[in-house]
Structure 1
Amino acid sequence: MRRHDLRAKAVQAIYQIEVGKSSAQEAVRHVFEDEESATDADRTYVARLVEGTVAALPEIDGILKERVQGWRLDRIARVDLAILRLAVFELLYEWDVDVATIADEAVELAKQYSTEESGRFVNGVLSRVIPLAHERRAAARS
């Protein structure tokens, strides 16, 4: 599967965890139930994204609270929040993926699964997170 599709699966699992109170493992298993073309590597990648996002949730939500202007996290659409949480996790911890790619993917997922306005909203929030991602990536390289 393409990375875009795998990110979509991760967003679905993160959403399911938030709304359905599933465990990360249950949510990942559920999003792959009818996906016969998924490989073990696909499942492992999505599990890493979902489990990493869940593990870093206090940090991620703290970062989002500081950068979401005029919104409380509990007022953001659950789909948009799942997309933002995944993107922030990737920005902070998935350094093999380029920052611009992560942001572009998040905006596309918001447009695909939410609304056109959500794409702009997600882009605006991530534009305020990206400087932190660049700082952390630079510090890790030094």
Structure 2
Amino acid sequence: MNRHAAREKAFQILFQLDMNDKHPEQAMKDHPESLEVDSYLKSLVEGVAEHKNMIDQTIAEHMEKWTIDRIASVEKTILRMAVYEIRYMEDIPENVAINEAVELAHLYGDEKSGKFVNGVLAKFLA
């Protein structure tokens, strides 16, 4: 599985984790399309889940006129993944993490999601 596909599956799993109280390992097993869990997918899901509070604090510090609780689950999940990749995964270039996050936002969010995600991540990197 390539990293783009792994990110999309990780997004789906993390989105479900945000809705349900499950352990990341169980959520990956329950996800029907992640029967072939690769190391990148596993690292992303477990890493975001493990560092969720710190990541949410980081996101909250880089938003204007918004709180983390007001962000829709789609955008929140995408931002968590991107911040995790930028902060904790040294082999992922920042621009790749941002581009992938914006692409996921266009795919799963509404017409303003991509711009919102890009803006928050730009402030995070500034």
**Following TM superposition, by how much is the alpha carbon of 1:95 offset from its aligned partner in structure 2, in angstroms?**
0.9
**1:13 — aligned with what?**
13
Partner of 2:28: 28
The percent identity for this pair of structures is: 38
> Is the 2:82–2:97 contact (alpha carbons within 8 Å) kept by the matching residues of 1?
yes
The answer as to whether partners of 1:91 and 1:130 remain within 8 angstroms in 2 is no
TM-score w.r.t. structure 2 length?
Answer: 0.93
Distance in 1, Cα, partners of 2:107 & 2:22:
24
**Alpha-carbon distance in structure 1 between the residues aligned to 2:84 and 2:13:** 14
Bigger-Rg structure (1/2): 1
In 2, the alpha carbon distance for the partners of 1:108 and 1:34 equals 20
Report deviation, 1:35: 5.1
Residue 29 of structure 1 and its aligned partner are, at CA, apart by: 1.6
For residues 127-138 of structure 1, the aligned pairs below 5 Å read 127-131=122-126
1:90 is aligned, of 85, 88, 97, to 85
- Where structure 2 has 5 or more consecutive residues not aligned to the other structure, the ranges are none
Residue identity matched to 2:20: G
Q: Secondary structure at the match of 2:112?
A: helix
5 Å-filtered alignment, 1:1-142, equals 1-31=1-31, 33-34=32-33, 38=36, 42=38, 44-131=39-126
- The answer as to whether partners of 2:28 and 2:34 remain within 8 angstroms in 1 is no
TM-score (norm 1): 0.83
Tell which deviates more after alignment, 82-91 or 16-25: 16-25
* Structure 1: runs of 5+ lacking an equivalent: 132-142
- How many residues align? The count is 126
Structure richer in helix, relative to its length:
1
